[in-house]
Chains A and B, each alone.
Chain A
């Protein structure tokens, strides 16, 4: 059983469309992170959310941490082909030392 469930697993959209990716758990997290991974490379951190209910914006990307700190979402506005990649959420449940990664959402944005 995955500690962090991501949905959808795959998403193929046209340039200019909006999308939302979800990261859910039954566990409480002290913080959650979102990474993006491009083919042949390691993941790169996009954002860390720490406070329940927190919303962070990074240009066209909006990240939200659930009030109960069990879930998070990533919303992309007006997607571009450069947004193509694997999006991973990651967090350490309260009391654990190491990060757990979700299974990822593979996004393809068609020009």
Chain B
């Protein structure tokens, strides 16, 4: 149980393109979903927290107009990197939490490379 699917797993695109990443909880309803960014050989950095049906809460220093988050249902959240540039290249990971007493369960991550 507690499977989180993240898609795509790898994307390469040109600078200026917008890229959408999907995060789905497959066998549970996620009250809260989280988006992280991870640089090589570093830990996870929380970007934003999203609750179904409400606006995402962004961490300090994360541009909300650059990283658009939509949490339209209890099983799906999307992260759109708008007008992506090479500095946005990174490993993005989502997680989903089924309730206050449940741990976060993570997707397999998306490796984004902007040329």
Partners in one complex: no
